[in-house]
Amino acid sequence: MTTDRIMVTGGAGYIGSHVVRQLGEAGHEVIVLDNLSTGFRDAVLHGQLIEGDSGDLPHVEMLLKEHRIDAVMHFAAHIVVPESVSDPLKYYRNNTGNTRNLLEACTRAGVRRVIFSSTAAVYGVPANKECAENSPLEPINPYGRSKLMSEWMLQDLAAASELRYGILRYFNVAGADPGGRIGQSTPLATHLIKVACEAATGRRDHIDVFGTDYATPDGTCIRDYIHVDDLARAHLLALERLRNGGDSFIANCGYGHGYSVREVLDMVQQVSGTTLDIRAAPRRAGDPPALIAKAERIRALLGWKPQHNNLEFIVATALAWERQRHAQ
Ligand code: UDP
């Protein structure tokens, strides 16, 4: 098996740590670069953790050279949409500015493969519920714009150099390591499945449903929830594609079908055996009624086959993680 020396920025975070685990299991050498602002030291199950900022150009350049890094996976970012609206410069600094510096460090160190965490937020409010990779890119908040600008930088740099990239646009990532070793620990989480599992384990007294009057079958928003381990596997396949000389690409990461907020909450109640205090609340600003990935490209390009395309399993692993954290 061919292995690589990989730098993973944000590898102590939720998605990054799941990728690091799989990279380690596949025998790759992993250097995690994380400033631990939202990540956790004990989430890094493989490789070496180096505390630092992905935007610290001299430091990153030195690390890339010293560890003779073959490829960079760039997860480090801020991801809270409402915060990006109230503090946009934080997002343009941490997401866009840091990506710029990281790419310059890659250029100086001769790193020619970059895998970048992007988001369905680059599509904004789609005209129809399904987004293909060539759908209009009209992000409606600074978070989405900060990510789209990073995509553009990668494309411009690839056009001007030998660098090749894989851009993965995540839909709604949820669930946890089926082995129970890592999961989502972010404090003040806002994501539906995480929040619902917190409610099911008594950490919240109720859960709000943001909008019950959408033009969807049950009036609540529909999203394409993808298990974090399936998403992580897509990153390893992306790495393999670039290693084998494959062209740069952009691919949606989702299952291609969705669930409503009510369906998700029903599943959380069923799996947890609890009755949640579910309250109808006003719509949340900027929520598209439905957001589902056109998900053919990732299968065709990478040979990706989801293993956990099952809402019950997603919820069960998220809940198991939440219970374990609660018990600690
Ligand atoms: N949502 C909700 N209550 C919550 C959190 C989320 O009703 O406490 C809804 C939200 O309005 C959206 C869907 O759940 O329709 C998914 O939201 P989430 O924040 O998980 O992800 P997003 O799609 O915004 O990235």
Q: What pLDDT does residue 135 have? A: 97
Q: What pLDDT does residue 129 have? A: 84
Percentage of residues in the chain having pLDDT higher than 90: 91
Q: What pLDDT does residue 6 have? A: 98
Pocket test for ligand 1, best of 193, 218, 261 (most atoms within 8 A of CB): 261
* 3-state DSSP assignment of residue 320: helix
Query: Which residue has a Cα nearest atom 3 of ligand 1?
Result: 209
Give the integer Cα–Cα distance in Å for 248 and 241.
Answer: 9
Query: So which residues are the catalytic ones?
Result: 143
> 283 C-alpha to center of ligand 1: Å?
10
Express each pLDDT in 298-310 by its tens digit. Answer: 999 999 999 999 9
> 54 C-alpha to center of ligand 1: Å?
29
Residues with CB under 6 A from ligand 1: 172, 190-192, 195, 207-210, 221, 223, 261, 284, 287
Rounded to an integer, the average pLDDT of 20-36 is: 97
Q: Which two tokens stand for residue 287?
A: 């929520």
> 34 C-alpha to center of ligand 1: Å?
27
Pocket test for ligand 1, best of 223, 264, 277 (most atoms within 8 A of CB): 223
User: Is-contact 258 291, C-beta < 8 A?
Assistant: yes
> 224 C-alpha to center of ligand 1: Å?
11
Query: Which residue has a Cα nearest atom 14 of ligand 1?
Result: 192
Express each pLDDT in 192-211 by its tens digit. Answer: 999 999 999 999 999 999 99
Q: From the alpha carbon of 120, which atom of ligand 1 is closest?
A: 25
Q: Give yes or no for residue 256 having a pLDDT over 90.
A: yes
Residue 260 backbone phi and psi in degrees, to 5: -80, 165
> 117 C-alpha to center of ligand 1: Å?
20
Q: What pLDDT does residue 325 have? A: 82
Q: Give yes or no for residue 173 having a pLDDT over 80.
A: yes
* Reported confidence tier of residue 328, pLDDT bands at 50, 70, 90: low
Q: From the alpha carbon of 191, which atom of ligand 1 is closest?
A: 20
Query: Which residue has a Cα nearest atom 20 of ligand 1?
Result: 191
Q: What pLDDT does residue 1 have? A: 62
Query: Which residue has a Cα nearest atom 7 of ligand 1?
Result: 209
Rounded to an integer, the average pLDDT of 86-105 is: 97
Q: Give yes or no for residue 176 having a pLDDT over 80.
A: yes
Express each pLDDT in 44-58 by its tens digit. Answer: 999 999 999 999 999
Q: From the alpha carbon of 195, which atom of ligand 1 is closest?
A: 8
Q: What pLDDT does residue 163 have? A: 98
Would you say the pTM of this structure is higher than 0.85? Answer: yes
Q: Give yes or no for residue 226 having a pLDDT over 70.
A: yes
Q: Across all residues in the chain, what is the average pLDDT?
A: 96
Q: What pLDDT does residue 307 have? A: 97
> 67 C-alpha to center of ligand 1: Å?
40
Q: Which structural domains are found in the chain, ordered by start?
A: 5-174+226-253 (3.40.50.720), 192-223+256-327 (3.90.25.10)
The arrangement of strands across the sheet holding 290-293 comes to 130-131, 290-293, 222-223, 259-260
CB-based contacts of 320, cutoff 8 Å, min separation 6: 176, 180
Percentage of residues in the chain having pLDDT higher than 70: 99
Q: From the alpha carbon of 264, which atom of ligand 1 is closest?
A: 14
State the DSSP string of 99-137: HHHHHHHHHHHT--EEEEEEEGGGG-S-SSSEE-TTS--
Rounded to an integer, the average pLDDT of 164-185 is: 97
